[in-house]
Amino acid sequence: MPLYHFRALDKGGRVTRGVLEAEDERTLYQTLKDRGLLLTKASPQRRFSPRGRRVQKRSLAEFSRHMNYIVRSGIPVVQGMLDIRDATKDAAFKNVLEMVIRDLRAGQSLSFAMARHPHVFSKLYVAVVNAGEVAGKLDQTFQDLAGYLEWTMNLRSKIRQAITYPIIVLILISIALTIFVTYVIPKLVKFIMELNRPLPLPTKILVYFNQFLMQYWYILVGFVLFIVIFVVVSGYFERMRLFWDRFKLKLPYIGSLFAQLILVRFVHYLEMLYRAGIQIYQVLSIMKEVVNNRFFEQRIEQLRGLVLEGESLSNAIEKVGVFPPLFIRAIRVGERTGRLDEVLKELGAQYEEEIDRNLKKLVSLIEPALLIFVSAILILIIISVIWPIYTILGEIK
């Protein structure tokens, strides 16, 4: 059914705007009338799709937190979602909630209604909600989901803060070098060439570098474009994605940070899904699609196969061979004590502390490296320009 953007008046004469799904305008008029609203204007609107405006992660986290309060308070789910829909300022999320509410009124389960919008409610999210429905623990389910979403946002915020400074510095350096190479250096080179004196080696390098850029700048631009296009296109080929994902994990220092980020996500996913009461083999099937690394996806698929063959989770993890000893020992202890969820929670906290330390170390290494890089370039340029001038002044004396 099409979506309509409408404007209506309530019984108090106040204007209400929103988006509603209806077969036609007459049905829309009747639906709003049943809600005590008088339709004054309606216009068709394209259905929201994953390629349109994206739903904000913050909106989904707030929705989960509010659903926890609603279910725990005994308020009917449909009524609670109507209140959330009316209160949210995220237009894209409001459209999705409208369609979920329609499915709920048609008799569908909440997890089924959410599963029809995978661009908003991930497979993991839907699986946890479904487990909560079956176990009758929807309030705890939404509390866990809200905590998980807030954790992912905090993790992204930490990573963003760690890389913001280096990125800004690199951009400023690039702009400064571009201006220097295209405007300042040509004038300096022209002045030096007019001196008609033998040039020292650093100055020759600067002159040749300037001449190359002026004559063959399109080669440099073409090379950069080729690299960008190659990286983008390679993402569409499975073997290339596997190669890049393995390559990232082997990078010095940064590779271990990538691995830790994958492990901490793995631990949190496993904890939440296990606590929701989902079978381990189903948990691994879901996690294979959300770790966002082809190399680890293959290993998780191997892990799932071993579990289906009857192996314990800890033994299967040990046989796969990509998880660190600490991880294996923690899983084994959790299985033997029957407190796997608590062990996973403690393990996740430990990995988070380690990631915080490594991010701070990375920033502390990048800052002096950038300073040395900029200083080296400036020193080279200064020597290249001043050396011949200083030589001529010495000849005059």
State which amino acid sits at residue 212.
F
In a domain, 351, yes or no: yes
> Tokens 């190479």 appear where?
181
Kind and range of the H or E run holding 4: strand 3-9
In a domain, 160, yes or no: no
Cβ-Cβ contacts under 8 Å for 155 (sequence gap 6 or more) = 261, 264, 352, 355
Q: How far apart are CA 173 and CA 348, in angstroms?
A: 38
Q: What is the pTM of this model?
A: 0.67
Instruction: Based on the fold, state whether residues 252 and 393 are members of the same structural domain.
Output: yes
Instruction: Based on the fold, state whether residues 145 and 196 are members of the same structural domain.
Output: no
Instruction: Based on the fold, state whether residues 193 and 324 are members of the same structural domain.
Output: yes
Average pLDDT over residues 29-40: 80
Band (pLDDT 50/70/90 cuts) for residue 49 is very low
Helix orientation angle between 325-337 and 313-320, rounded to the nearest 10 degrees = 170
Q: How far apart are CA 63 and CA 50, in angstroms?
A: 19
Domain of 114 in residue numbering reads as 57-149
Instruction: Extract the runs of DSSP E, i.e. beta strands, from 15-146.
Output: 15-21, 38-45
In a domain, 155, yes or no: no
120-131 CB burial, b ≥16 within 10 A, e <16: bbbebbbbbbbb
At CA 355, angle to CA 354 and CA 357, rounded to 5?
65
Give per-residue pLDDT as tens, 258-267. Answer: 888 888 888 8
In a domain, 183, yes or no: yes
Give per-residue pLDDT as tens, 77-115. Answer: 999 999 998 888 888 888 889 889 988 988 888 988 898
Average pLDDT over residues 306-329: 88
Give per-residue pLDDT as tens, 142-178. Answer: 998 898 888 888 888 888 877 787 788 778 877 877 7
SS3 50: coil
Please tell me the total count of domains within the chain: 3
